[in-house]
Amino acid sequence: MILTGAGISAESGVPTFRGPDGLWEGQRVEDVATPRAFRRDPRLVQTFYDQRRAALARVEPNPAHHALARLDALWPRSDGRDLLLVTQNVDDLHERAGSKRLLHMHGELKSAWCLACDSRMSWEGTLLDAPACPACNASGTLRPDIVWFGEMPYHMAVIERAISRADLFVAIGTSGNVYPAAGYVDLAREAGAHTLELNLDPSMTSPRFAESRLGPAGTLVPALVNDLLENR
């Protein structure tokens, strides 16, 4: 079970969340990543995510994303020896690298959600002043399919079941500030898994991992994948 965060995409040029100034791309999270912010100023929030979506065209997966896709391609699929990659990221770099056994627990920039009919649909363009919902034809009802603060992350039951059966739990490039993902190391430890963190700097959750390796994901992840495949 592998959990990734914004740090894995940093070397691709996607800024992390709580950079040195505590902002996400110049915005306070309270202003762009909560349901309240969307009710208060929908145009600001739509514009923010439209810009993030557009920026994906200017970045590419890095060696860490490619290494995890290689692991997915070569790792067994049998019951009891499976693999699951869970990302907190809303970018599409894991799938562009080729990962298939992948869940986005915080949603995806390239997905829209209709608040009228509850449909989710892949979305490439802008959502500000978007056309009517292609599924139900309602107007002005599409929002970014992103899990904002205060909302329930996706796929929680599947993720927690995978952790309860895991013998290895790896967290890559995540600060340990955002729950429930930050608590997954504790579930994994309770389940008897080896817990390994790969991060540029010590994180909030480092003391709760059995093992931490410090360095850039673009170097540490390919080395880990080589080890896992050699000792499979």
Least separation in angstroms between CB 81 and ligand NAD: 27
- Pairing mode, strands 107-114 and 120-122: antiparallel
Which residues, in sequence order, are bridge partners of residue 108?
Answer: 145
Compute CA distances 123 → 74, 77, 127, 204, whole Å.
30, 30, 8, 34
Looking at beta carbons only, is 129 or 201 nearer to ligand NAD? 201
* Contacting residues toward ligand NAD, per CB under 6 A: 5-7, 9-11, 14, 16-18, 24, 88-91, 106, 173-175, 177-178, 199-201, 203, 216-217
Least separation in angstroms between CB 207 and ligand NAD: 14
Least separation in angstroms between CB 46 and ligand NAD: 17
Q: Which two tokens stand for residue 176?
A: 């340990």
Query: Shortest Cβ contact with ligand NAD: which residue?
Result: 7
Distance CA 184, CA 197 (A): 12
Looking at beta carbons only, is 24 or 113 nearer to ligand NAD? 24
Looking at beta carbons only, is 17 or 162 nearer to ligand NAD? 17
Active site residue 104: no
User: What are the phi and psi torsion angles at 94 (to 5°)?
Assistant: -65, -45
Give the CB-side neighbour count of residue 82, counting CA atoms within 13 A.
Answer: 15
Which region, left, alpha or beta, applies to residue 131 given φ > 0 means left and ψ of -120 to 50 means alpha?
Answer: beta
Distance CA 213, CA 197 (A): 6
Least separation in angstroms between CB 151 and ligand NAD: 11
Looking at beta carbons only, is 46 or 174 nearer to ligand NAD? 174
Compute CA distances 216 → 154, 156, 227, whole Å.
28, 28, 17
Least separation in angstroms between CB 197 and ligand NAD: 9
**Active-site residue, selected from the candidate residues 65, 104, 106, 155:** 106
Among 7, 19, 65, smallest CA distance to 197 is for 7
Looking at beta carbons only, is 46 or 205 nearer to ligand NAD? 205
| 42-79 burial: b if 16+ Cβ within 10 Å, else e | eeebbebbbebbeebeebebbbbbbbbbbbbeebeeee
> Which residues have a catalytic role annotated?
106
